[in-house]
Each structure stands twice: as C-alpha cells, then as structure tokens.
Chain A
Amino acid sequence: MAGTWGRFNVVALALGFAFLYLPIVLLVIYSFNESRLVTVWAGFSTKWYVAMLNNRGLMDAAWVTARVAFLSATVATVLGTMAAVALTRYTRFRGRLLFSGIVFAPLVMPEVITGLSLLLLFVAINFDRGFATVTIAHITFSMCFVAVVVQSRLITFDRSLEEAALDLGATPVKAFFQVTLPVILPAVIAGWMLAFTLSLDDLVIASFTSGPGATTLPMKIYSQVRLGVTPEINAVSTVLIAIVTVGVVVASLANKRQDVLRQREAAE
C-alpha cells in the first residue's frame, strides 16, 4: 500500500535516533552528578557548573573562542557569499575550474593537512601566531561551507527577478542587495551559523595555527580530557550543546515563520 510507514522503518528510525542522541543525553545527565566519577551516579548537584565558572583558564578560553567564532563567521559569510555568487552567476571566467576546485576541496580536506599548511605559511611569512592567525584559518575553511550553503539556494533562485530589476535601471549592486539578498537571506544566515559553530568546534586547525595567549575552548577541553574525564568538562559541553540547540531551533522556527508569512502574502 502506498504511503504506509512500515514497522521496519519505525524501528530503523528509533534505533538510529537512539544511537545519535543517547551519548549526548548521558553526557548531559552526568554533568549534574555529585560524584567526581563520571560513571557512578551519586545524586543531583550543580557544583560542576560552579567549578566551571570559577575555572579561570576555561573562561578565558571561552572568551577567545567566542571572539574568534564571531569574527571569523562574519568575514567567512561575506567571502563565502561572494564565492557562491561568483560560481553561480559567472559561468565563464579565467581560472573558474581552479576556483571551484579550491572552494570545494576544503570541505573534505583532512584537518591535519589544512592546519599544518596554514601554520607553515604563517611561519614562512613571519606572521606572529595568535588570535589573528586562528581567525584567518577559520575564515578560510568556513567560507567554503558558507559558499556551498548559499550556492544551493542561489541555484533555485529565479534569475528573472534580478534581470527585471536590472531592466528597470537598478545597478547590479542595488539589484543584489534589494532583490537577491532578501531571497537568499535564510541561506546566508544558515551559512553564518554553520561558520560560527565550525569555529566554535575546531580543535585541530586551531592547535596548529594558534599561539601563546590564544588558547581556544576546544584546545582547553582537549588538554583536560587527555588528563582524564571530569564532570566539569561535561558541564562545559552541556552549556555548549544548549547554546547550539537553542540557536538551531530558533533559526529553523524563524525560517518556518517567514515561509508562512510569505505564503500568506502570496495567497492574498
């Protein structure tokens, strides 16, 4: 029968989502554990959140990460959107093949290679490692993710709208900002969020390209995890998971609302 959702499918989805979510749920639960042992439950406590807030090194690293992520995501969104426009609007220019190659290659490039190569570049040009180099590194790989997200939206975009604006005398720049950008805006925002979380998340590239005084949160978490699992790290992780989850859910709801509004407008 068409459209029946077989028992097999329900079981597959239930098991699949259990596999995806159980580790995260357990991590969150044990962040509220009284005991220092992460695997033995000894009662509810928020003391690890207090310990986390009092951990100076951790908080400094969080602040560095927040600034790097904000700055790199913003620049990456501008550059990535430009790259997406270049790839979809200009089908013929010299070096286009190379350009599309270097836009897509960072998506699958192992991080150790990207990190090492950027570090060697900074050393070769005698650029002091620190906040700036981590930010540049993050812009470089996350702009490619932005480009892919925005490009997939631009492909489905009805070009005749833009052409109409141009025919009516708008300059290309004006046509872009008044016609194209509002339509692709959800993708641009999604791209920014993706770039932000990629930066928030990156351990390998930051370890290669950062210098003294620019320890990011993942670097700090990694060095503590290597010393042993502590509920404090569970607490930090829970906060990060909460931030990202709220961000994604709010964005998708906002997106949905916009779609509804647009449909209502179209109906009227």
Chain B
Amino acid sequence: MARLFSMIGSRLVIAVPYLWLLVFFLVPFFIVFKISLSQTAIAMPPYLPVFGLEEGVSGFVRNLRDLSFENYLWLFEDALYVNAYLSSLVIAAVSTLLTLLVGYPIAYGMARAPAALRPLLLMLVILPFWTSFLIRVYAWIGILKPEGLLNQFLAFLGIIDQPLVILNTTSAVYIGIVYSYLPFMVLPLYAALEKMDYSLIEAAQDLGCPPLTAFWKITFPLSLPGVVAGCMLVFIPAVGEFVIPDLLGGSRTLMIGKTLWDEFFFNRDWPVSSAVAVVLLLILVVPIAYFQRAQARAREEES
C-alpha cells in the first residue's frame, strides 16, 4: 500500500509541473505558429481562419487550406523588420560586450576581496536585481535627459557648455542594458573567479610572467565558463528587450521587441506579430540550446 502511494507520489511530482509547463509554455508556441500562418481580420479574435469544433472534419480541412506563409514573406520584403532584427542583434551583442567589460573588474574585485567581506558584496550585487526593472530603467530618464542630472553635473564641472543628447539615442539603450543586466553578468563571473586557485598566478609571476600576461594566460581562460554563462544571460533576453528601447531609445532605435509590441498593440495585427515572434525564436534557438547544454554540464560537474 505504502509502495503504491509512493509510486503515485513520484508520478505526481513529475506530472504536475510537467503538465503545467506543457500547457502554458510549450503548447502556446504551436498556437503562435498557427496564427502566424493566418490572415488579419476585423473580428474578435482578429485573425482568420479560426478553428472550431462545430465545423467538423471538412471545415478543418478547408481552414487548413487558408493557412499560408504570406506573413513571413512580408517580413522579409519589408526592410523595417529585417533592419529591426539586425539592429537588435547588433545592439544586444555590443551591450553584452560592454556588460562584460564593466562586470569583469567588479567580479574580479569581489573574488579577491577578504573572505569576510564577500557575502556583503554579493548581496550588494544581488540587491538591485531584486528591485523593479521598470523602476531602474525609469531612473535613467531623469539622469540622461537634456536638462537631466548628468548634463547638469557636466555643465557644473565645465566639461560641456551644450547639453549632450543621450536620451532617445542608441547610447541610452546601451547604458540601460548594461545597467539592468549587470548582476546577471557579475554573478556567474564571480562564481567562476572565486573557485580559481590564485597560487597559479603567483607561480606564473614568480617565474617572471608580467601580471597582464598572467591574467590573459591563466585567469581569463579559467573564468571562461562564467564568461559564457554571463554573456548568454545578457545577450538572449537583450535581443528581445522591450522596456529599455521603448523608454530610453526613443523612436529612432529599432529593436524587434518593440516592433512586435507596436505591431500587436497599435496595429492590432496578430498574425504578423506572431510571425515576428516565430522568427525571433528561430534566431534565438541556437544560443538558448547552447546555454542549456552549458547549464546542464555545469550542474553535472557540481553533483
């Protein structure tokens, strides 16, 4: 009897979260794909055909014939979408690199800090990650505005006499992404650097290796798993980012997350926004799969 219960119990532990994610995470992707093949219509829901049970098998077949790849052709014909994809990838790649450059010294400083201080430093890095993303992006509007705090400060120092235009440019998007995603970069870097055996550096230096060469030949390669994990955690979500380009980038910054949003909320074109989402997903499938493999490997090593 107890065995029976335990068997049912173990099945449930797997089945309940599995089913939940199948229904609310995996199945929706198939619906997105299906609607990306539909046409816009002035109706609710605003697309055709709608598959209903009442039409029977013949209706189902007729509806299937109405599906087409037209929306995808549209995406590749209109330069707007192609440019939005490309500029998202470029912006995400550049900001990932910038985040790495900003995050690495922080993670390194943390890893070399006195052991007693490290938990506090770790908490200080994690704390902003807990506070609202939207609020943190919003905070930058007041700083970057033409009459904002940064320009006031620079004018006060006498560095500039004309206010710098930063808000509503791509530079503001870079600042926003680096700022918002910095904890995602620092944490895996710190985890990799903390485990490192620093006597290796000492050995290299004793043998006459200059510090910078020692860094490139020893520290950096050993921290590579952290670098890869951090870059993936920044790059993948940044490609589809909406809030940052919308609030800081202005109308001139083209990013696909914002294009999808506008297509959905302003043009109410559900089929085209679905097609935009499917193509975005196809672009991200490779880095996501790579990220998952790296994660799985790290976990196996840990256990």
Contacts and interface: CB of A to CB of B under 8 A. Distances in A.
A82 B288 contact: no
Instruction: Report the 8 A-B pairs with minimum CB-CB distance, sorted nearest first.
Output: A110-B240, A117-B28, A12-B105, A16-B106, A9-B109, A83-B17, A23-B139, A13-B109
What's the interface size class on A, roughly?
Answer: 35 or more
10 contacts: A6-B112, A13-B106, A110-B241, A112-B242, A143-B21, A201-B133, A225-B247, A241-B131, A245-B130, A245-B131
Nearest to A256: B119
Give the interface SS of chain A, mostly helix, strand, loop or mixed: helix
Interface string A70-81: 000000000110
Contacts of B237: 108-111
A196 to B, nearest CB: 10
Interface string B99-124: 00011011011101110000001011
B21 A86 contact: no
Interface stretch (A42-50, A56-64, A97-105, A260-268): A97-105
Nearest to A117: B28
B277 A112 contact: yes
Interface residues of B, number: 95
A28 B2 CA distance: 57
Interface stretch (B55-63, B78-86, B141-149, B217-225): B141-149
B186 to A, nearest CB: 8
B86 to A, nearest CB: 16
Interface stretch (B67-75, B154-162, B295-303): B295-303
B90 interface: no
Contact of A9 (B113, B133, B243, B257): B113
Contacts of A204: 242-243, 261
A118 B138 contact: no
A121 B27 contact: yes
A108 B232 contact: yes
Given A19-B179, A39-B152, A121-B31, A2 B198 contact: yes
B66 to A, nearest CB: 16
A212 interface: no
Interface of A: 2-3, 5-6, 8-10, 12-13, 15-17, 19-21, 23-24, 26-27, 30, 38-39, 79-80, 82-83, 85-86, 88-90, 93, 95, 99-106, 108-114, 116-118, 120-121, 123-124, 136-137, 139-140, 143-144, 147, 151, 155-156, 171-173, 193-194, 197, 200-201, 203-204, 207-208, 218, 221-222, 225, 229, 233, 237, 240-241, 244-245, 247-248, 252
A121 B277 contact: no
Q: Which of A86, A116, A203 has most chain B Cβ within 10 Å?
A: A116
Contacts of A147: 17
B242 to A, nearest CB: 5
A240 B131 contact: yes
A86 B105 contact: no
Q: Which of A89, A108, A203 has most chain B Cβ within 10 Å?
A: A108
A2 B136 CA distance: 38
A4 to B, nearest CB: 8
